Structure 1
Amino acid sequence: MFDLTGKVAVVTGASSGLGRDAAMAYAQAGADVVLLARRLERLEALAEELKGMGRDVLAIKMDVTDEESVKSGIAQAYEHFGHLDILLNNAGIAVGGGVDTLTVEDFDKSIDVNVKGIFLVSKYVVKHMIENEYGRIVNIASVNAVIADKDDIFVRHSYNASKAAVLGLTKGMAATYGKNNITVNAIGPGLFESEMTEDTLFKSDDFLTLYYGLNPMNRAGKQGELNGTILYFSSDAASYTTGQFIVVDGGMSIV
């Protein structure tokens, strides 16, 4: 049920962190992979690793906030493979600050990458899924779509807003495209060590003490611990599951 042999998985934000891990997981499950991100040299290095596993891999430089970049990149991917079966919308940023300190530019940037990016990539992928009457779309939201933090260490109002918007977009797409055998689901990671967090949250002993103290598992997520949920939503194991949101946070959101 989790075998992805013959499928093509498109991964945004694939140059590092959770996106890179997911690309590896897709390849291990048998899928060919389209790697998308702004840092082409990193994508090309990852592509060589995946090709060594016997996969067909395409690395494309893309800015998910730029429509022409997205349109061109997805067209290139479709021309190469002839079908696009899975889309992992993983590209995202986290900008700190409350509404009293955030600049308009920082707020707009959060919305552009975290929401508009998903819209644009989905826009150009989903038409091919409709033609093929098959698709699995997985949107990476965040536990911070449903919980917030009053502590100044972790105030991220634009992040809260953008990730909550991902859930609304996920439900809307799921309701519309279910008739085309396309499922659309979202995942809410808690704290994972990644390029986005290692130089910020993981450098703050005060934050880690607070987070670990509140988390039932008393730790952050480890590399690869998101992959099982990603593969579930991307496979036929979830063929009758759509519009859903699974939080992978060590129980943080339940206490």
Structure 2
Amino acid sequence: MEFQSLHNKVVLITGASKGIGQAMCLLFAEKGATVYAIARSEELLHKLAEKAKTKGGNIIASPCDVTDSEAVQRLISQIVREKERIDVLINNAGLGHFGPIHELTETQWDEMMNVNLKGVFLCTKYVVPHLLKQQSGHIINISSVAGTVTFPGGGGYCTSKFGLMAFTDVLTQELKPHNIKVSVICPGSVQTYFGQSDPKSYALKPEEVAYIAYQMAAAPEGVIMNQVIMRPVVPKEYQK
């Protein structure tokens, strides 16, 4: 199976300043895409853009809070003015707070729903009209294994990720008639400092998740990789 070229494709990636988002930005830029790296930290985004530049990649630092409707709308409009199209949107921004439901604060709950769900909704809402005009494009959502199974202490996070899975399914049905692909990746534990604990030594590498996103985006025109669940191989000594 031959991959499509991403050369000069316009790719938007949220949560781009670190972890999986950073790895995706670097990989997509390496493959020739023009990458708009979206996150709140302007400083980290500029460092990322410089790192890509040294390897011949094109990453455009695009500071934006994905939970701010007006800011998202302005950024999307600016990108379309500059490039006249959007080929891929990767909704990757996310955060987690963990603990028994009755111990979660209202602020923690709201943060998860705002970033993990509202941010995806806003970016999708303002990108889709342009994809409809093109009758082409691809939206890739980064969910989690926690969007397929629950666990104690994950009440808020699982709720947001189960919601994202439903959002993805509805979006798939709505956009299928318009030649617009929708995909979702559900990684298990990843070697990023996510939540309150250090990453497990055997956890997935951000670059491994990034490569699956690349395979989705570059799959042959007639192929949709709809859903991929990724789990690390747990060494025998860590198995219960």
Above 0.5 in TM-score?
yes
- Measured in 1, the distance between the counterparts of 2:135 and 2:229 equals 28
Q: Does the residue aligned with 1:115 lie in a helix, a strand or coil?
A: helix
**Structure 1 gap segments, 5+ residues each:** 213-218
User: How far off its partner does 1:55 sit?
Assistant: 3.8
Is the deviation greater in 134-143 or in 76-85?
A: 76-85
Matched letter for residue 161 of structure 2: K
What is the aligned counterpart of 1:247 among 209, 215, 229? 229
For 2:204, the aligned partner's letter is G
Q: Residue 50 of structure 1 corresponds to which residue in structure 2? A: 52
Q: Which residue of 1 aligns with 2:220?
A: 237
Partner of 1:140: 142
User: Which residue in the other structure is 1:216 paired with?
Assistant: none
1:81 deviation in Å? 1.4
Structure 2 CA distance, aligned partners of 1:184 and 1:196?
25
Amino acid at match of 1:166: L
Name the structure 2 match of 1:169: 167
Distance 1:124 1:112 in 2: 16
Aligned length: 233
8 Å CA contact 2:116, 2:164 repeated in 1: yes
1:251 Cα offset (Å): 5.8
How far the C-alpha of 1:228 sits from its partner, in A, is 2.1
C-alpha displacement at 1:30, in angstroms? 1.4
Q: Secondary structure at the match of 2:47?
A: helix
1:92 maps to which of 88, 94, 113: 94
Percent of aligned pairs with the same residue?
30
Residue identity in the other structure for 1:247 = I
Q: CA deviation at 1:2?
A: 4.2
Amino acid of the residue matched to residue 171 of structure 1?
A: D
Q: Distance between the aligned counterparts of 1:174 and 1:110, measured in 2? A: 23
Rounded to whole Å, the distance in 2 between the matches of 1:239 and 1:231 is 16
1:159–1:78 distance in 2 versus 1, CA, 3 Å: same
RMSD: 2.0
Tell me, yes or no, if the aligned pair for 1:87 and 1:137 is still in contact at 8 Å: yes
Offset at 1:44? 1.1
Cα separation, 1, equivalents of 2:8 and 2:86: 10
Matching residue of 1:221: 204
Picking from 66, 73, 77, the partner of 1:64 is: 66
Cα distance in 2, alignment partners of residues 159 and 11 from structure 1 = 21
CA contact (8 A) 1:65 1:120 kept: yes
Query: What is the 5 A alignment of 1:70-149?
Result: 70-149=72-151
Consecutive aligned runs of 4 or more in structure 1 exceeding 6 Å deviation: none
